[in-house]
Amino acid sequence: MTIEIKQNALHAALQQVMGVVENNKTIPILSNILVRTQGDTASITATDLGIEITGFSKLINPLPEGTAFTLPGKKTFDICKSLPQDAEVTLKPQKSNILLKYGDKCRFTLATLPSEDFPSAEQKEMTLSVKLPQQQLKTLLQRTVFAMAHQDVRYYLNGMLLEFTSNEIRAVATDGHRLASNVLQTSVQTDHRIQCIIPRKAVTELIKLLDTKEGSITLTLCSNFISVTSNGFHFKSKLIEGRFPEYDRVIPYNNDKIFSINRSELKNTLTRAAIMCNDAFRGVTLDIKDNSIKVSSNNPENEAAEQELSINYADKPISIGFNVNYLIENLNILETEMIELKLANQDQSMLITEVDSDHDSIFVIMPMRI
């Protein structure tokens, strides 16, 4: 049986799954992709045992019967990238290998492993299912992902909390120093609160898959897996077991020292101050008083930077330190021209919100001693 497929169609499907193709010498099948054909469609699946992604490609000619085989993922992807975009690629399974051809003079012989050995994710009984525009889910994840922990011993922080209630989906991430909480208003068929924690890698891979154009996805949750399905891909991921912190308890809703500031001006000022920050601690000081905010930084080489910005503030003076990287990364996510900073004192966290925003979002950054 010969499979004929356009290079651009094959490349698009391979690109979707390559993030979970493993270079695994202990379990060689994880370095392979599973190719299945049915009618005029080829599905391409990769897994790292935690995440499973399937992309789809249209065949040039429909096949009368389906077939399944595996290919080395990275080599197949590199071969496909090297071919012209309008190339017609043929794949022909043989006894112990797969023949990949482009035209009459270009051919590759690729090793294969039994398709029966390719692992498949086992899902338990479904807890809930919700359909929503994929652009909305992508935005929800993108505005939260930056606050996730990375390789934290508190494993439940190395991911993102999704919380479902009857009228909303909330995404929350924290690394213990900052927190992001974003809410998507949508109808969910549940009469109680349901929570799950999606691993960091799964969140980043899902963001890549989701499209910003029109189109819907179906999000399905069960006790051990989350899956997201669209016309262009299938995505499954194991969930992190554990209890996410009670995020509401660390959000400083009662901060009473409030002022608005231009987001771009503050970001540019912080970027300049970051040049003179201590490389190890990355601290900047915000001195807020008399309708001004002074941003300053210094380092062990006795170098320093400072800049003042005008604001509308007549409350008690506050001098407070923050990690400059956390501030800049947070400002990069925000979309409005003006933002609101809410403080209580130099020892309590700062609350950041957008002014006149369509998003239901809260961002929190803990102070640091400088």
Residue 356's pLDDT is what?
95
The domain boundary, picked from 249, 269, 285, lies at 249
Q: Do both 281 and 297 map to the same domain?
A: yes
Q: Do both 108 and 164 map to the same domain?
A: no
Of 14, 13, 32, which is closest to residue 22 (Cα–Cα)?
A: 32
Residue 319's pLDDT is what?
98
184-218 confidence digits (pLDDT tens): 999 998 989 999 999 999 999 999 999 877 799 99
Q: Do both 145 and 91 map to the same domain?
A: no
pTM (2 decimals)?
0.94
135-150 confidence digits (pLDDT tens): 999 999 999 999 999 9
Domain that holds residue 32: 3-117
Q: What are the CA-CA distances from residue 115 to residues 12, 35, 41, 102, 234 (Å)?
A: 22, 8, 18, 24, 19
Residue 352 in this model has a pLDDT that exceeds 80: yes
Q: Determine, yes or no, domain membership for 135.
A: yes
Q: Do both 81 and 164 map to the same domain?
A: no
Tell me the two tokens of residue 24.
């695994």
Q: Is 218 helix (H, G, I), strand (E, B) or coil?
A: strand
CA angle 72, 77, 81 (to 5 degrees): 155
Q: Do both 242 and 282 map to the same domain?
A: no
Return d(Cα 216, Cα 134) in angstroms, integer. Answer: 5
Q: Do both 12 and 112 map to the same domain?
A: yes
Return d(Cα 264, Cα 286) in angstroms, integer. Answer: 16
Q: Is 272 helix (H, G, I), strand (E, B) or coil?
A: helix
Q: Do both 59 and 71 map to the same domain?
A: yes
Q: Do both 148 and 43 map to the same domain?
A: no
Q: Determine, yes or no, domain membership for 265.
A: yes
Return d(Cα 198, Cα 237) in angstroms, integer. Answer: 8
Q: Determine, yes or no, domain membership for 370.
A: no
Q: Do both 269 and 346 map to the same domain?
A: yes
Q: Could you tell me if 278 and 369 are in contact, meaning their C-beta atoms sit under 8 angstroms apart? A: no
Write the CATH number for 356: 3.10.150.10
| Residue 238, strand partner residues | 225
The domain boundary, picked from 215, 230, 249, lies at 249
Q: Determine, yes or no, domain membership for 103.
A: yes
Residue 151's Cβ-count burial label (10 Å; 0-12, 13-18, 19+) is exposed
Q: Do both 264 and 360 map to the same domain?
A: yes
Q: Do both 141 and 195 map to the same domain?
A: yes
Q: Which helix (H) or strand (E) holds 199?
A: strand 194-199
The domain boundary, picked from 211, 231, 249, lies at 249
Domains identified in the chain, total number: 3
Return d(Cα 48, Cα 69) in angstroms, integer. Answer: 18
Q: Do both 61 and 82 map to the same domain?
A: yes
CA angle 104, 42, 10 (to 5 degrees): 55
In the structure, what pLDDT confidence band is assigned to residue 158 with cuts at 50, 70 and 90?
very high
